[in-house]
Amino acid sequence: MVDSIVVQNVTKDFTMQYHRSLKQMAVATFKGLPLKEQFQAVNDVSFTVEQGESIGLMGLNGSGKSTLLKLINGVMRPDQGSIRTRGRIAGLIATGAGFHPQMTGRENLFLNGAILGMGEAEIKRKFDDIVAFADIGKFLDTPVSHYSSGMYARLGFSIAIHVDADIFLADEVLAVGDRPFKRKCVQKMQEIRQQGTTIFYVSHATASVRSMCDRVLVLESGHLNFDGDVEEGIRYLQYDDDPTDQPTTAAGNTDEELGADI
């Protein structure tokens, strides 16, 4: 099999500044308090993903999932280690990322499509499909600064999912949006999965991870502490021990499948 993503001993550090003004810094220095502190969002992480695999990236909030996705996407560079990817990368790693607030949805569609690597001819060819999937109606020609978070998610996901990509990154894309839109997202992601696209999917929703993924990675405080079977990964996290995560009705089961527990 061909390797799609190779992550080797990757570490990413950030610096927290405790005091911003000169007065605060002077007082802190006088008291012997630290002015800043470094922490490792991702710590010596290594794994390989084969082309066509569907990976669920799980972990508690603050475990480093989004940082790892941004490193794979190339938005950030690791401080140590290396990341190699094969082919075009697309996806939604932040709601409305790349949107200009004063531009309309139509204008941002072309702008964001270009950022994701689509040419003008490709965007025009897919324009009607993208607009139909986003289903934002008359708001297409309204500045996106007037959009709700759900409308941002609709347009951003719709653009990303229509990119002909080899790797699709999805950071909790089902956290925003109504039930019909979530259902469309799941169906579309299943379609691109069946086409052989590598999927890297961040979610807390166990049912959607079960239905979407072949394998689970679990991050804890920046460390990769589990890499293996989906069911074993979910048990490792003890997510199924939470009674609020268990559906009690048919409607509840649908909500969990669509990521409503995020």
Q: Which of 75, 88, 92, 93 has its CA nearest to residue 122? A: 88
Higher pLDDT, 35 or 209: 209
- Encoding tokens for residue 153? 């998610």
Instruction: List the Cα angle 62/64/69 in 5-degree steps.
Output: 130
Strands 54-58 and 198-202: parallel
The label of the residue with tokens 């990154």 reads 169
DSSP state, 229?
-
Domains of the chain: 3-87+166-257 (3.40.50.300)
Average pLDDT for the chain: 83
Give yes or no for a contact between 226 and 233, defined as CB atoms under 8 angstroms apart.
yes
If you count DSSP H runs as helices and E runs as strands, how many of each does the chain have, helices first?
9, 9
Long-range contacts of 237-241 (CB under 8 A, 24+ apart): 237/58, 237/59, 237/60, 239/58, 239/204, 239/206, 240/206
Provide the greatest CA pair distance for the chain: 64
Confidence of residue 206 (pLDDT cuts 50, 70, 90): confident
Phi, psi dihedral angles at 96 (to 5 degrees): 80, 10
- pLDDT at position 48 is 95
- Per-residue pLDDT of 52-83, as tens digits, reads 999 999 998 889 998 999 999 888 899 999 99
Q: Per residue in 26-36, pLDDT tens?
A: 777 777 777 66
